[in-house]
Structure 1
Amino acid sequence: MPSPRILIIGQGLAGTALAWRLWERGVPFLIVDRAEALTCSKVAAGLMTPITGMRLTVSWRYAQFYREALPFYRRCGRLLHQRFCFPRGYVRLLKSEAEIAKWHKRRQDADMQPFLHPQRPVLDADVIHAPENGFQQRHAAWLDTPAYLEASRGFFEQQGAWMQAHVKPEDVHDDAAGVEWRGELFSHVIWAQGWNAQQHPLFHWVPFQSARGTILTVQADLRGERRILNRSCWLLLRPDGSLRAGSTYEWQFDNPHTPAPDQLQQLEQNLASLLKVPAQITAAQTAVRPIIKNHQALMGTHPSHPRVAFLNGLGSKGSLRAPWLARHLVEHLLDGAALDPAFDLQHNGV
């Protein structure tokens, strides 16, 4: 008799990585998704950049996550005959005298050295404001998240492992025999549904602090510049020639897909402070990042329901972290491997 499948709720970056990890091991699964047009994963820029933030620090465990993410997405691309992951130079431009002074101190730190390009970036002064104040990073990339998610969905659907449905927590039952949904038995259910997990009765104690974010689609002539640029906002060139620019963080909001006008205006001003050339905004997309307060992400099984698992809270780092996190959760569920305490749902418990 074949083993019961694993039920995955949500086909964002977390759920899709889980599905690929199970597929790699030959473990049957069913991934169920609402197939909404706008989700955090579909809107996400997919940036993987080592030195980030106002404090100019190396992203937490960046080398560990990046070493796993790059070959993972390349394997998916080869299998699906489509390229999703694009290593790119990344130029961080400093926006003030205080930031320049901070960088002169930080650039000597040992953790910075693997990610610094030895030469200063040369940018077109007719395209970029104040191009001389900045530095270029190595080991940066971006994931074409909409293409990756869509191609993965098509592949899983052909395998009979994808379904469109809205799964309510009360419709999923678990006991010693397994997990049951719509009359079918599963060995486990993994909830990977992003910020919607805030409403799940089994995970109401998880300290979500999700943030709404907006990304612009832009048309501008960068005159051959292909690197990712950042000063107050990032700017990314896509293969079709369009640009994406972002993003905002709104901690208080009502509608998940309608940005506050002042936030949108500030993003437009940030873009204007980066580019000298005219930029036409052609679209804006808004969604909610799943963020868990004081945690980079959480995963594992529920303290009272060992067949009910959880992977969430990847925030703006989903493209970077999902492959590593998904592998570890799968190894925990199938092999009994211990979870890293930093991510363990029960270790950081109720």
Structure 2
Amino acid sequence: MQTILIIGQGLAGTALAWHLWERGVPFLVVDRDEPVTCSKVAAGLITPITGMRLTVSWRYTMFYREALIFYRRCGQRLGQRFFFPRGYVRLLKSEAEMAKWQKRRCDPDMQPFLHPQPPKLDAEVIHSPENGFQQRHAAWLDTPAYLRASRDFFASLDAWVKADVQPADVRDDGTGVEWQGRRFSHVIWAQGWSAEKHPLFSWVPFQSARGTILTVQAEMQGERRILNRSCWLLPRPDGSLRAGSTYEWKFEDANIPDPAQVAQLEANLHSLLKVPAAITAAQTAVRPIIKNQQALMGTHPSHPRVAFLNGLGSKGSLRSPWLARHLIEHLLDAKPLDPELDLQRNGV
């Protein structure tokens, strides 16, 4: 009987656990249960056309289709809604960006995601609302609620434990994996950016980035779409707003917001909104990013019972359901890994 030990209950670890539960495979999730982590801070944005280059997110249709079904299924099991399809309005901030968009908008890969109607934003709320476009097939995941409800469900099955697992605590003897006297067929390390300190994965080229997200109060006159110009703005069902985010490649403390970054984010927010906006909180965490990779998964070259899923960056909400299923099928069914995501092919 296969039994899987999962280290870390962020977006990756949670999706792994759900896929194992669906297959009836025993598992144990071990997590530090810290109040501030990348997955808990994440806004959960899922958007097709992204970035300064205005391109379609890598393999978006495939990932979105699976995420939509996966999160709705989780919500039905737990009696709680986590996944919210939303309109997404991208406002262009400069003449150069507008010129770039005039070229990009005709690309065939853009067409499934472009809404035929202009955004029609309230000029009393938004600065320069006319320069932009509206996207389809965007959404957001309430990541704190999803992670918390999943944790409680796994705990009710005696399949979740709070502990700070160090690499030396997990022993691989070639026939199985052992932790605290319990035996497992495999261990999957899904700890986010802290994996760069794991001795078995020190060769993976992490290039993680710290990010800050604000919680904001402002009167949006009923606007429920996600907006973006210089920063994104997410209206939540409770009436609060979240705004973000920053990218800091050099940092010391993982969870303490940099005042300069908060100030810049606040300035970007005020360049988007005409109405007063009050910042009520700022949260900071580190995105796990692997240099030149969308994500990596697989087993260690010398330890086939020791597996890895990491590097989801800011796309964890979108990509974790598909990636987790793909890794589980590799471990349990010997299905080959996608060559672009295979740790052993791309980790050096």
TM-score of the aligned structures, taking structure 2 as reference length? 0.99
Deviation at 1:320, TM superposition (A): 0.2
Give the equivalent residue in structure 1 for 2:126: 128
Residue of structure 2 equivalent to 1:233: 231
**Distance apart, 1:259 and its partner CA:** 2.4
Which of 16, 19, 28 is the matching residue for 2:17?
A: 19
For 2:181 and 2:256, locate their aligned partners in 1 and report how far apart those are by CA, in whole Å: 38
- The question of whether the paired residues in 2 share the 8 Å contact of 1:4 and 1:185 is answered with no
How far is 1:258 from its partner? 1.5
Other structure's SS at 1:132 match = coil
Q: Name whichever of 325-334 and 250-259 sits farther off.
A: 250-259
Amino acid across the alignment from 1:160: D
Amino acid at match of 1:309: A
Q: How far did residue 177 of structure 1 move? A: 1.9
Q: 1:285-329 deviations in whole A, cap 9, x for unaligned?
A: 000000000000000000000000000000000000000000000
* Matches of 1:139 and 1:325, distance apart in 2: 20
CA distance in 2, matches of 1:28, 1:9: 14
**158, 175, 178: which one aligns with 1:180:** 178
Aligned length: 348
Q: 2:199 matched to which residue of 1?
A: 201
1:308 maps to 306
Contact map agreement 2:177 2:187 (CA 8 A) in 1: yes
| Matched letter for residue 76 of structure 2 | R
The change in CA–CA distance for 1:4 and 1:111 in structure 2 (over 3 A counts) is: closer
AA aligned opposite 1:14: A
Q: Does 1:92 align with 2:79?
A: no
Distance 1:324 1:275 in 2: 36
Give the letter aligned to residue 121 of structure 1.
P
In the other structure, the counterpart of 2:34 is 36
Which residue of 329, 333, 337 maps to 1:331? Answer: 329
| 1:4 Cα deviation after fit | 4.7
Deviation at 1:260, TM superposition (A): 2.2
For residues 189-223 of structure 1, what are the alpha-carbon distances to aligned partners after superposition, in whole Å with 9 as ceiling and x for unaligned?
00000011011000000000000000000000000
**Do the aligned residues in 1 keep the contact of 2:299 with 2:308 (CA within 8 Å)?**
yes
Amino-acid identity (%) = 80
Q: TM-score, with normalisation over the residues of structure 1?
A: 0.99
Letter in 1 for 2:329: E
Q: Provide Cα deviations, 1:37-61, integer angstroms capped at 9, x if missing partner.
A: 0000000010000000011000011
Shift of 1:347: 1.1
Q: Which residue of 2 aligns with 1:168?
A: 166
Structure 2: which 5+ runs fail to align?
Answer: none
The amino acid that maps onto 1:341 is P
1:102-181 counterparts in 2 under 5 A?
Answer: 102-181=100-179
Q: Output the aligned Cα RMSD.
A: 0.6
Deviation at 1:263, TM superposition (A): 1.3
Inter-partner Cα distance in structure 2 for 1:254 and 1:228: 31
Tell me which amino acid in the other structure corresponds to 2:242: R
